[in-house]
Structure 1
Amino acid sequence: MKVFQGALCNRAKIGLLLLMVTLAGCNTLKKVDDDQLLLTNNTIYTDDEKVNESDLKSLIVQKPNSSVLGYPLRLNLYNLAKEDSDSSFQNWLHRKEKREKRLNRLLSKKQVNRLKESFVVKGASDFLKRIGEPPVVVDTSLAQKSVDRLKAYFNSKGYFNNKGRYEIVEGRRKKRAAVDYKIALGMPYMIDTVLKNIVSPELDSIYNISSSKSFVKKGEQFDLGNFNLERERLTTLFRNSGVYNFQESSINYDILRDTVAASDDKLMEVQLNIQKPRSSDAADSLSNFYRVHRFEKINIYSDYLIGGSRDSLNSLEYNNYTIYFNDKLKYKPKALVDAIFFQKDSVYRDLDRIRSYRQITNLNTFKYPNIELIPDTTNARLISNIYLAPRPKYSVNFSFDVTHSNIQQIGTAFGATVVTRNVFGGAETLNVSARGSIGLLSDASLSDETFTSELGGDINITFPRIWLPFNTERIIPFYMLPQSRFLVGTNFQRNIGLDRQTFNTILSYNWSPNLSLKNELELLDIEFVRNVNPDNFFNVYQNTFSNLDGIADDFEDNPDFAGFYDENVDPNLDEDDELDLIISEGANSFIDAILTPGFQVSQDTLAAVRSIQERRQRLTENNLIFASNFTITKNSKDDINDLDFYQFSAKLESAGNVLSLMANVVPYNENDNDQLLVFGVPFSQYLKTEFDFIRHWQVGDASVLAFRSFSGIAIPYGNSDNIPFVRSYFAGGSNDNRAWNAYELGPGSTSNLNDFNEANLKIALNFEYRFPIAGDVKGALFADAGNIWNVFDNEDNPDAIFTGFESLGDLALGTGFGLRYDFSYFIFRLDVGFKTYNPAEEISRRWFRDYNFRNAVFNIGINYPF
């Protein structure tokens, strides 16, 4: 809580300071002396040609002050700070003769002295200096250092005779200057011949087999980067070919010519040297050379304790592995052996060691393992000791969240999970979870009660292998970290929507062919949704009720309909005021009366009431979803600090086909709509596919351009003419189009058609520029485009249906800005979105009609939206 309070305090301070900067029009040159020049720009030229490569710019030692959209915010914040706050305070204190005496009587002398350390006097200046930046003034020594760096860089690219200098270019505005760095490259050196000097015969043989893959090749320009890549390649090659102790430092290159003397001949010979191990013993001739090692023995210690004695351990042999344990072996031998990729008599590979680390960690049963290699130099054999320290058998996790939504003003959610490891002795993990929540309804008309509640639980068991009746190891080997998951869960909601009860079962498999690729197959995804309180429909979907009530206004004088309206009429109402239908008895009876065969009503009214009835029936009926899906995800992100990466995800889902095929064997009942029923519920049948692409580009040191595109479509067929609400798409919200609230946008060019608008086709495009402001405060400018539509279903409103490329004119555009506060372990986010292009308006009123703070949408979120 203190962290949040401190962060809010900091944000308030920064907001005040930003206002001060804007109002005061801070002088950028305030702390630049008369004999100094403020650095405004760096430009690099090679052979009089301007270059903008980020690698080169990073070599410049002195860079201009950072800016936010061209404004030097941090510099001006620094300029607001007082250089000597103590002296300023003393001058103010003694400026008037009796000021100090009056303050001493009012506050006491001790408190007056403490004013010097207060935030207003000293703390504000310290804070401004901490988040701000001092002016960057041109420093010739740093400029020359940058020239030397640039020359060294081009030396590494083969331009050994390059020359460099810098020029200070004073700007038109006073006390400002830019620095131009000019490098004359000359002709590059080319590799003529690659020689080799490899003292180990075994390494020489391995090298010859893979020499065609070398990064250092005849006829190419000298590039030190390629030599470094080749050293890394060879180190990886040798360590994956049995040379477990190979050191990269054993590799070096000699350039066999003088590159200092000027010459028209730019060809060079290079020699690859692979020397003996540094630790080789001159007295032992066998240790003078790197050798290929094979495994003699592999020992697994399943109950390892640091400092514990090994003499009292029991052991057993299993498939050429020796497993040591205390008293009784708690794990199935196969589960342990499957996680180890070393094999007796096989050649050592670093890749197998890394895969063993990953798979042991993937078991979720042991702490990070320790793998020890003991060499026998005489016979080039290895003994491997693998020490496994068990994690606790049981653990308990608790969670607590505060939530807010368009239904709940405020809510609290809590949960607990009991984790049991190694349930059946095969490193299985069992999670038993319980969760609940309680919240305050945002609108009392939604229910007779004030509070909402939710209670649910899951039983989830994970197997560290593909759990199928046949062997899949050849297709999905263990180094791909295979997992099987079986989940059974239920959830009960009360006074949220229609008081929904959900029962779900999932059998899924996931595996990772490599570090950047992950596959997931949900073989069974069964979900049963039961709406306990369907009579609450018109309370929840008030826009739908308003449309129906508007139609009913034309039938108030019909005596047969008198019982449909609220008789508790306010006597002060004018005679022209309309009566309201009773929820829900009156509304339901009115629909039944209008749809009674033979009732005289216009075709438009009949179509509108039938549409409302179909929607009510769809959203209140129970759903049975029996689906399977496959998802592939590729992520090029190296680590959490990687700001330049892409992520792609594709998903294909099919529902209802198995149940439809079974209908040929086991006859099902049917309802009035000719839908097949399973346990009295029509099952859903559809095909769904999604594509999600995210791309981040790093701009400068800490700024990022982020882009996301999403498209998804779900097509009903067979036993369904629409998509279940829980599997449909919606638009708007803090992670989508931020100029609209969740479920508010679309479908198509409709406006507030329903309280919770959803459809079966979605397109979303998001673009965001993220930049640092001051300290842990960051900013963003964003543009979100997208919408949802109906297609290939039973929707008959032409404004909500996607008909072709012309429907792309219904793509809504929201733009805005955001502030983020970085807590290191998560990001607190506030975004303000403005409706820039609203397809629900008339064509002439779509652009910038609601572009103001009164109609802005404020979104609060945790972490970035994409």
Structure 2
Amino acid sequence: MKSFLAKISLFIIILTLISACNSIKRVKDGELLLVKNNLIVNDEKSNDVDALSQMYQKPNSRFLNYPLRLNIYNLAGENPDSVFNAWINRDPKRYERLKRRYSNKQIREMTNYKRGFNNWLKKTGEAPVIIDDRKTKKTTNRLKVYYQNKGFFNATANYKITPSEKEKRASIDYTVNTGNPYIIDSLQVTIKSRDLDSIYNLSKNKSFIKVGKQFNTGDFYNERERLTVLFRNSGIYNFQLNSIKPTVGLDTINKDYDLAVALKINNLQVRQNDSIVEKEYKVHKIKKVNIYTDYTYENSKKTYIDSVTYKNYTIYSNDKLRFRPKAITDAIFINPGEIYRDNDRTLTYKHISNLRTFKYPNIQYQYENDSLTDLVTNIYLTPRKKFSLGFDIDITHSNIQDYGFSFSTSLISRNVFRGAETLEISARGTLGASKDVADSEDQFFNISEIGADIKLNFPRFFFPFNTERIIPKYMLPTTVVSLGTSVQQNIGLDRQNFTGLIRYNWTPSKKNSFSFELFNLQFIRNLNASNYFNVYQSSYDRLNAVALSSDYIDDDASLNIASGETDAFIADVVSNDYPVTDSELSTVLSVAQRQFRLTQDNLIASSKINFTHNNKESLSDNNFYQFRTELELAGNLLSTIASTANLQKNDRGKYKLFGVPYSQYVKTEFDFIKHWELSGKRDVLAFRTFFGIAIPYGNSDNIPFARSYFGGGSNDNRAWSAYQLGPGRSASILDFNEANLKITSNVEYRFDLFGSFKGALFADAGNIWNVFDDIEDEDRKFNGLESLQDIALGTGFGLRYDFSFFVLRFDVGFKTYDPAYELGNRWFKDYNFGNAVYNIGINYPF
């Protein structure tokens, strides 16, 4: 009932706010507020985004069909100073009362505050768009030119202002009659340079300008860009865009709608003294490449004392050369003896920056002596500092840790083995607080963690044999070797963690990237497994409830964790030494299985390959898609060792290495993201779908907790908290719910509100299940297509603030379809603010 009254109250407040706003408050007599633009092309309504973008005036933006920003603007006073003064002067004694309470300065500050708030309303809001005849005529002419540029040379355009039934409002109808399009009937190409002519003829089939194609000005722009890129990557170092002169024979425009097009490419125009001289474009070759490895402005005039020649490159240094020549030349794509190419320079910039050893390089070209075609390339490299030290401090919070203060420091050493390698050594520590349910007198700061990592980056593949033929250097091959360890005390199960990694990365193209982990080792050891029931409170509550109902303990008592009474009760029930009902036995077995799973030590040795394709062109590109897939195999190498070395087995028949059963499984994931920009605005429709499955086999009956899936959270299904969704229809009875199969899809509509504030409406669907493992609970298992009816649905809305370099996100998710309830009773069961989940996140979830 309270939830219903809250909804009604909120609805009434919103209606009152909307009704109190007057959209035409700032529209003067004789003016008309623009409410809609209509484009009619050849008697049919058009939604051509490019054509609609030609309009100089557009209606005020709307949020859910409501002019929110317009009404925010209307809340501002036209003259806030006069309003404030009138309020003071309305009562002769009011000013005296203010003077007795405040100083003259404070009273002036009241005026300034009123003025500042008023300006904020205007800046945040949006002034009413008043129909302007001059801008309307400019739009009409612009539409005419737009269609003429598409080949409709006889296009005509008109407009009509249609008043609305509502006061002081109107729409504008733009009417365009295109006529018939003109077609390119002939194309004549004239190129003065013989070298340019040869290059053009090799790729003329890729031309944007073709006979039989409808005339389009955009094709001419695209062809000029294509030819400029082609020539400058085919040896024409000094080619200029303005040398390309496409022309249309206007005198050929006739009733047959045919056009004669001429494409002329002139020679280079250069100034000599007071005259302009024409020079024929020629193919340029790279004669020499000089590399200066320690260039600074201070030593630019000094004589280089050390130099070496390696593969036709000459490398200079002001001091003894600190780099192996191959480490430098592997990042250079400008090769002596080859023709000039813009792409080679771009690749060189990118690869040198990727070394993380030099600042952004400076690449210059000059002619050798009096030659007009031979170029000398000078590459100036400025090294970064040999060592750099960093510090970081964070405040953390997690399900186990109430408060935490973490610090970290890192030392970076560059050019470790004279091959532009980077060594990074880091250390971290945490001091935190967590309430222990077993100890009411524990101190506030009772958590500590310390860890260290060492990581070595190679700007090439560190491999026993040469891989350049398979993965050439333009793919940016890199190798990462890392080792890490950490120790946690009084947090959870007091965990020791050791990791080791050998990873290879390469980028075949701008859109594709690969990552291959040859070896990924993780060893997890729990030092305080007896603390399990202090950490996982829900497991303790379920066990304690059975102990109470079965009279194992008195009604006013609880199982004592510290004395081991919880473990003793489980042992008594499992061994049938203490009788319980079948339902109670099932609960105890479930708790015991969960306890074993989360307290067992883990040894994971795996290999993994990851592929990502992303066709996003830039940060502002809102029409793109991304696809990622991953395959991981774990335990196969250790299984080979176990069978040949005859390793010992535990009481469950699993091989042990270093006293720990190793994990064996296969895991694969597919992740697809698609963004659409809507109606030429900044509004974006974002979609994501994910499928992941991990199948245990051989030495494992289940997936390690560190490799399992969970549902819920700020980047998943936002109507459930992290780890609180699923598995299946099992009603989320555990503290940390996880499983080995996950299916999820998300859709989100993102739109501008005002200023840097953004809004979003979203729907998240998905769940996790157990499959092919040792879980027997049918509510948690995936049983084919019928289990898809257990997919949870959460809907909601979000508010975001864009700080340019990151986005602060606040989302509210409502449980719309909850599989924890019985079939037929799952829709809108907890659809209210009281059961909503409030998420705070950084940047967009997908």
Normalization by structure 1: what TM-score?
0.92
Is the 2:602–2:663 Cα contact (8 Å) retained in structure 1? yes
2: distance between equivalents of 1:370 and 1:840? 62
State the match for 2:651 in structure 1: 672
Tell me which of 559, 566, 577 is aligned to 1:587.
566
2: distance between equivalents of 1:528 and 1:794? 22
- 1:521-540 equivalence runs, <5 A: 521-540=516-535
State the match for 2:641 in structure 1: 662
Note if 1:127 corresponds to 2:137: no
Q: 1:635 deviation in Å?
A: 1.4
Q: 1:82 deviation in Å?
A: 0.5
SS of 1:36's equivalent in the other structure is coil
Tell me which of 533, 544, 547 is aligned to 2:542.
547
- 1:72-83 equivalence runs, <5 A: 72-83=67-78
State the match for 2:676 in structure 1: 697
1: distance between equivalents of 2:469 and 2:273? 46
CA shift digits 1:281-328 (9 cap, x unpaired): 599999711111111111000011125224243211111000000120
2: distance between equivalents of 1:98 and 1:467? 86
State the match for 2:5 in structure 1: none
Is the 2:304–2:316 Cα contact (8 Å) retained in structure 1? no
Q: 1:336 deviation in Å?
A: 0.5
Q: 1:661 deviation in Å?
A: 1.7
State the match for 1:358 in structure 2: 350
Q: Judging changes above 3 Å, is the alpha-carbon distance between structure 1 residues 19 and 102 closer, same or farther for their aligned structure 2 residues?
A: farther
Q: 1:239 deviation in Å?
A: 1.0
SS of 2:92's equivalent in the other structure is coil
Q: Judging changes above 3 Å, is the alpha-carbon distance between structure 1 residues 114 and 102 closer, same or farther for their aligned structure 2 residues?
A: same
SS of 2:824's equivalent in the other structure is helix
The one-letter code of the counterpart of 2:281 is Y
1: distance between equivalents of 2:480 and 2:788? 40
SS of 2:242's equivalent in the other structure is helix
2: distance between equivalents of 1:153 and 1:21? 45
2: distance between equivalents of 1:320 and 1:277? 31
Q: 1:604 deviation in Å?
A: 4.6
The one-letter code of the counterpart of 2:413 is T
Tell me which of 760, 763, 769 is aligned to 1:783.
763
2: distance between equivalents of 1:817 and 1:388? 50
Is the 1:446–1:539 Cα contact (8 Å) retained in structure 2? no
Aligned CA RMSD, in angstroms, stands at 2.2
Unaligned 5+ segments in structure 2 are: 1-9
The one-letter code of the counterpart of 2:489 is R
State the match for 2:54 in structure 1: 59
State the match for 1:269 in structure 2: 260
State the match for 1:227 in structure 2: 220
2: distance between equivalents of 1:145 and 1:540? 70
Q: 1:106 deviation in Å?
A: 3.0
2: distance between equivalents of 1:678 and 1:356? 47
State the match for 1:166 in structure 2: 159
Note if 1:136 corresponds to 2:129: yes
The one-letter code of the counterpart of 1:643 is N
Q: Judging changes above 3 Å, is the alpha-carbon distance between structure 1 residues 49 and 668 closer, same or farther for their aligned structure 2 residues?
A: same
Is the 1:295–1:345 Cα contact (8 Å) retained in structure 2? yes
Note if 1:643 corresponds to 2:622: yes
* Higher alpha-carbon deviation: 688-697 or 442-451: 442-451
- 1:692-771 equivalence runs, <5 A: 692-699=671-678, 700-771=680-751
State the match for 2:39 in structure 1: 44
Note if 1:156 corresponds to 2:156: no
SS of 2:359's equivalent in the other structure is coil
CA shift digits 1:654-706 (9 cap, x unpaired): 10011112233322111111111111110000000111111111224222111
- 1:93-108 equivalence runs, <5 A: 93-108=88-103
State the match for 1:560 in structure 2: none
Is the 1:281–1:287 Cα contact (8 Å) retained in structure 2? no
Q: 1:401 deviation in Å?
A: 2.1
Is the 1:21–1:77 Cα contact (8 Å) retained in structure 2? no
Tell me which of 391, 397, 412 is aligned to 1:404.
397
Is the 1:356–1:479 Cα contact (8 Å) retained in structure 2? no
* Higher alpha-carbon deviation: 839-848 or 103-112: 103-112
SS of 1:849's equivalent in the other structure is coil
The one-letter code of the counterpart of 1:126 is N
The one-letter code of the counterpart of 1:115 is M
Identity %: 50
2: distance between equivalents of 1:579 and 1:390? 70
Note if 1:176 corresponds to 2:169: yes
* Higher alpha-carbon deviation: 629-638 or 727-736: 629-638
2: distance between equivalents of 1:630 and 1:490? 24
Is the 1:446–1:540 Cα contact (8 Å) retained in structure 2? no
1: distance between equivalents of 2:439 and 2:185? 82
Q: 1:580 deviation in Å?
A: 2.3
The one-letter code of the counterpart of 1:582 is N
The one-letter code of the counterpart of 2:387 is Y
Q: Judging changes above 3 Å, is the alpha-carbon distance between structure 1 residues 191 and 300 closer, same or farther for their aligned structure 2 residues?
A: same
CA shift digits 1:57-82 (9 cap, x unpaired): 21111111111111111110110101
1: distance between equivalents of 2:107 and 2:582? 84
State the match for 1:3 in structure 2: none
* Higher alpha-carbon deviation: 724-733 or 592-601: 592-601
1: distance between equivalents of 2:589 and 2:567? 12
2: distance between equivalents of 1:415 and 1:90? 57
Normalization by structure 2: what TM-score?
0.95
- 1:204-243 equivalence runs, <5 A: 204-243=197-236
2: distance between equivalents of 1:389 and 1:21? 65
Is the 1:746–1:788 Cα contact (8 Å) retained in structure 2? yes
Is the 1:305–1:389 Cα contact (8 Å) retained in structure 2? yes
2: distance between equivalents of 1:310 and 1:350? 30
Q: 1:778 deviation in Å?
A: 1.4
1: distance between equivalents of 2:651 and 2:96? 93
Q: Judging changes above 3 Å, is the alpha-carbon distance between structure 1 residues 74 and 554 closer, same or farther for their aligned structure 2 residues?
A: closer
Q: 1:438 deviation in Å?
A: 2.4
Aligned length: 829
SS of 2:773's equivalent in the other structure is coil
1: distance between equivalents of 2:601 and 2:437? 26
Q: 1:128 deviation in Å?
A: 0.3
Q: Judging changes above 3 Å, is the alpha-carbon distance between structure 1 residues 633 and 446 closer, same or farther for their aligned structure 2 residues?
A: farther
1: distance between equivalents of 2:89 and 2:38? 51
State the match for 1:629 in structure 2: 608
Is the 1:21–1:76 Cα contact (8 Å) retained in structure 2? no
2: distance between equivalents of 1:314 and 1:610? 75
- 1:286-301 equivalence runs, <5 A: 288-301=279-292
Q: 1:103 deviation in Å?
A: 2.3
SS of 1:355's equivalent in the other structure is helix
Q: Judging changes above 3 Å, is the alpha-carbon distance between structure 1 residues 112 and 547 closer, same or farther for their aligned structure 2 residues?
A: closer
Is the 2:436–2:534 Cα contact (8 Å) retained in structure 1? no
The one-letter code of the counterpart of 1:465 is R
Q: 1:188 deviation in Å?
A: 0.7
Is the 2:270–2:277 Cα contact (8 Å) retained in structure 1? no
State the match for 1:453 in structure 2: 448
Is the 1:282–1:288 Cα contact (8 Å) retained in structure 2? no
2: distance between equivalents of 1:360 and 1:754? 51
2: distance between equivalents of 1:553 and 1:194? 93
Q: Judging changes above 3 Å, is the alpha-carbon distance between structure 1 residues 197 and 548 closer, same or farther for their aligned structure 2 residues?
A: same
Q: 1:605 deviation in Å?
A: 4.2
Q: Judging changes above 3 Å, is the alpha-carbon distance between structure 1 residues 286 and 183 closer, same or farther for their aligned structure 2 residues?
A: closer
Q: 1:51 deviation in Å?
A: 1.6
State the match for 2:3 in structure 1: none
Q: Judging changes above 3 Å, is the alpha-carbon distance between structure 1 residues 296 and 231 closer, same or farther for their aligned structure 2 residues?
A: same
2: distance between equivalents of 1:32 and 1:152? 32
The one-letter code of the counterpart of 1:619 is L
Is the 1:543–1:752 Cα contact (8 Å) retained in structure 2? no
CA shift digits 1:766-807 (9 cap, x unpaired): 111111212112111111111100000000000100111111
1: distance between equivalents of 2:557 and 2:303? 90
SS of 1:845's equivalent in the other structure is coil
Is the 1:372–1:384 Cα contact (8 Å) retained in structure 2? yes
